[in-house]
Amino acid sequence: MQYYNFDFVVIGSGIAGLISALRLSRLGRVGVISKKVASECSTNYAQGGIACVMTSDDSIQMHLEDTLDAGAGLCDESVVREILTGGPSAIEDLLHYGLKFSERSAEDGGGFDLGREGGHSKRRVLHAGDFTGREIEQALLRRVAAEPAVVMMEHCMAIDLITTSWLGLDDENRCTGAYVLMQKTGQVAAVRAPVVVLATGGGGKTYLYTSNPDVATADGVAMAWRAGVPIANMEFIQFHPTCLFHPDAKSFLVSEAVRGEGAELVNREGESFMERYDRRGSLAPRDIVARAIDSEMKASGQPCVYLDIRHKGRSYLESRFPNISAECRRFGIDIAEQLIPVVPAAHYFCGGVQAGVDGRTTLPGLYVVGEAACTGLHGANRLASNSLLEGAVCARRMADHLEQVRPDRQFDRRIPIPEWKFDEAVPSDEGVVVEHNWNEVRQCMWDYVGIVRTNRRLDRAYRRIRNLRQEIREYYHDYLVTGDVLELRNIAAVAELIIRSAQLRQESRGLHYTLDYPSLLPTARNTVISDPAGENI
Ligand code: FAD
Ligand code: SIN
């Protein structure tokens, strides 16, 4: 078996992972592990932008109030303040890394062109056209490529964390590395480091319909759970209200910024309906808009609703939303002339591995940043464009913390890590089982654990997912590991976490809406699931 030794291992190469790597490279050698090509991540597809207070008529307090309001009473106010206050320095870093945000013309007063999205009381979203994520990812990857202390390991997929208690060592339990599947050879390697940073993103692929790319299988959450680290608020799955509805448009998002610039949500008759649900109309927070669309679709029997932005005219639309205009055109929709058919789809995990703003978890040596973490910023519903911000701020804060404590200096680099056990495993000739179970998990989550929930649907989903997990477990032990099997094992594990968390929350709050408990309990509490390590292999 191959062994790799680093001072820091970062798993994931989106905004949180790459900023972590760049900041940590000042302290030592960093290995970045990414399961596909490095740029394949949610960050790369972000459109709307990154929220940050940038103007004198805006303030941290106003951004904080909008965040708390969207979060439906469950945000941790001190965490929100800390992250929002860290925003301007994180933006400075991005500019320093070479990112160029869109600016207004001199006639329009110059300065950054700030966008607006649902739930924001001010224009405060920095963007690069509607390619913001791609521009961020490319700028960061260019910097990483020029940094000799960072080793990028693409097509390498972390399987599980390695802890000292799992190794049977007597010391205080800590994380010492990870087993990694080298996807090009099928071999398993051990990557050893005193600090492991999970920056593995979210898990939209747990659901049948999602805005997320294929890599979003919540591997980090599943790995941390198996290692006994507490997982919080997994019931709060954000459904983005407006994904393009077209049989061939897999996961394409129509940014909330389109509504920010005046698009109205309308039904097939062209009637605007959002005012019936919320005074903020089409710009209400996402949980409200997604539920309203779901209700309109159920009442009318129609498979989608529509966005109407025709009044803005072709030249404006093509310059402000070049990506959306071109992608819709590819599917035969001219957004300057036609309505855009849209549906909600799973978009973002507000929950994740319980972590501080500096990424610290209950397991020494393990840090979690970005969408994989649950810091308390988003509460029961994330405010638009606060995610890229969280990833950037927390990665920076994590590196600052490690600069202070330097755990790498006391780490015993000789810790023996056993070879990966293949036992009797053979190559699989049953790929159809993986394919079938993959679809079944995602369909089950979509049908029973979606925008509107009930006790009966959750119970049914729980029974099915438990059965599927048992089957997947057997498959995992009998056959040689592949990326597909590992992802299936992870989405099934995370599906169970989502269902259990939803069953524990006996109220409707933010993104968790259940017909059995339609009201809000007086006290807001986090749902934390903490099972002993190894229990959920
Ligand atoms: P990601 O960017 O998802 O990166 C995760 C990385 O981990 C990937 O490189 C992946 O390959 C790797 N990985 C995962 N598992 C493993 C494993 N087992 N082994 C090795 N590598 C692994 N947020 C905003 O704030 N503003 C927006 O405008 C916005 N628009 C969005 C549009 C879309 C279409 C989507 C999908 C999301 C959007 N979001 C937006 C949300 C935001 O993009 C994500 O929450 C954020 O980019 C997550 O960053 P991250 O670094 O935590 O994870
Ligand atoms: C969007 O552009 O609508 C996505 C923004 C986000 O998820 O924060």
The verdict on the CB of residue 14 being under 6 Å from ligand 1 is: yes
Question: Is 286 noted as a catalytic residue in this protein?
Answer: yes
pLDDT at 228 (0 to 100): 97
Is 222 found in the same domain as 134? yes
Span from the CA of 432 to the centroid of ligand 2 (angstroms): 35
Is 295 found in the same domain as 201? no
Q: Mean of the pLDDT values across residues 426-436? A: 85
Between the two ends of the chain, the Cα-to-Cα distance in Å is: 22
Span from the CA of 160 to the centroid of ligand 1 (angstroms): 20
226 pLDDT band (50/70/90 cuts)?
very high
Is 304 found in the same domain as 159? no
Please classify residue 298 by burial: count the beta carbons closer than 10 Å to its beta carbon, then call 0-12 exposed, 13-18 middle and 19+ buried.
Answer: exposed
The residue range of the domain holding 276 is 242-344
Within-domain flag for 66: yes
Q: Which of 15, 50, 117 for mutating ligand 2's site (highest number of atoms within 8 Å of CB)? A: 117
The verdict on the CB of residue 201 being under 6 Å from ligand 1 is: yes
Q: Which of 155-164, 201-210, 413-422 has the lowest mean pLDDT?
A: 413-422
Question: Which pair of structure tokens corresponds to residue 482?
Answer: 């592949």
- Catalytic annotation, pick one of 286, 320, 360, 453: 286
Cα separation, 191 vs 201, in Å, equals: 20
Span from the CA of 124 to the centroid of ligand 2 (angstroms): 13
Question: Which pair of structure tokens corresponds to residue 445?
Answer: 């989550």
Cα separation, 185 vs 78, in Å, equals: 46
Q: Which of 152, 200, 482 for mutating ligand 1's site (highest number of atoms within 8 Å of CB)? A: 200
Whether residue 276 has pLDDT greater than 80: yes
Strands 373-374, 3-5: pairing kind:
unpaired
Q: What is the pLDDT of residues 323-358, one digit of tens each?
A: 999 999 999 999 999 999 999 999 999 999 999 999
Is 289 found in the same domain as 388? no
pLDDT at 376 (0 to 100): 98
39 pLDDT band (50/70/90 cuts)?
very high
Within-domain flag for 416: no
451 pLDDT band (50/70/90 cuts)?
very high
State the CATH number of the domain containing residue 443: 1.20.58.100
Higher pLDDT, 194 or 536: 194
Is 370 found in the same domain as 443? no
Q: What is the pLDDT of residues 71-104, one digit of tens each?
A: 999 999 999 999 999 999 999 999 999 999 999 9
Domain count, the chain: 3
Is 392 found in the same domain as 367? yes
Q: What is the pLDDT of residues 144-199, one digit of tens each?
A: 999 999 999 999 999 999 999 999 997 789 999 999 999 999 999 999 999 999 99
Q: Which of 126, 132, 240, 265 for mutating ligand 2's site (highest number of atoms within 8 Å of CB)? A: 240
Within-domain flag for 422: no
pLDDT at 50 (0 to 100): 98
Within-domain flag for 95: yes
Mean pLDDT of the chain: 96
Is 398 found in the same domain as 503? no
How far is residue 304 CA from its own chain's centroid? 25
Looking at all shown ligands, the one closest to residue 241's CA atom is: 2
Closest by CA position to 356, among listed 364, 367, 345: 367
Q: Which of 179-183, 249-253, 442-446, 509-513 has the lowest mean pLDDT?
A: 249-253
411 pLDDT band (50/70/90 cuts)?
confident
Look at ligand 1, atom 40, and give the residue with the nearest C-alpha.
46
Span from the CA of 373 to the centroid of ligand 1 (angstroms): 12
Q: Mean of the pLDDT values across residues 206-235? A: 98
pLDDT at 423 (0 to 100): 76
Q: Which of 79-88, 239-248, 422-431, 442-451 has the lowest mean pLDDT?
A: 422-431
Question: Which pair of structure tokens corresponds to residue 53?
Answer: 């207070």
Strands 237-244, 340-349: pairing kind:
antiparallel
Is 265 found in the same domain as 335? yes
State the CATH number of the domain containing residue 123: 3.50.50.60
The verdict on the CB of residue 344 being under 6 Å from ligand 1 is: no
The verdict on the CB of residue 135 being under 6 Å from ligand 2 is: no
The verdict on the CB of residue 450 being under 6 Å from ligand 1 is: no
Whether residue 408 has pLDDT greater than 90: no
Is 134 found in the same domain as 55? yes
**246-272 b/e (C-beta count within 10 Å ≥ 16 → b):** beebebbbbbbbbbbbebbbbbeeeee
Q: Mean of the pLDDT values across residues 65-69? A: 98
Within-domain flag for 21: yes
88: Cβ–Cβ under 8 A, 6 or more apart, which residues? Answer: 52, 53, 54
State the CATH number of the domain containing residue 309: 3.90.700.10
pLDDT at 532 (0 to 100): 85
Is 89 found in the same domain as 43? yes
Helix (H, G, I), strand (E, B) or coil at 195: strand
Whether residue 431 has pLDDT greater than 90: no
477 pLDDT band (50/70/90 cuts)?
confident
pLDDT at 172 (0 to 100): 87
Q: What secondary structure does DSSP assign to 489-510, as a single string?
A: HHHHHHHHHHHHHHHH--S-BT
Is 199 found in the same domain as 95? yes
Q: Mean of the pLDDT values across residues 100-115? A: 96
Within-domain flag for 417: no
Within-domain flag for 283: yes
Closest by CA position to 396, among listed 15, 42, 30: 15
Cα separation, 351 vs 224, in Å, equals: 13
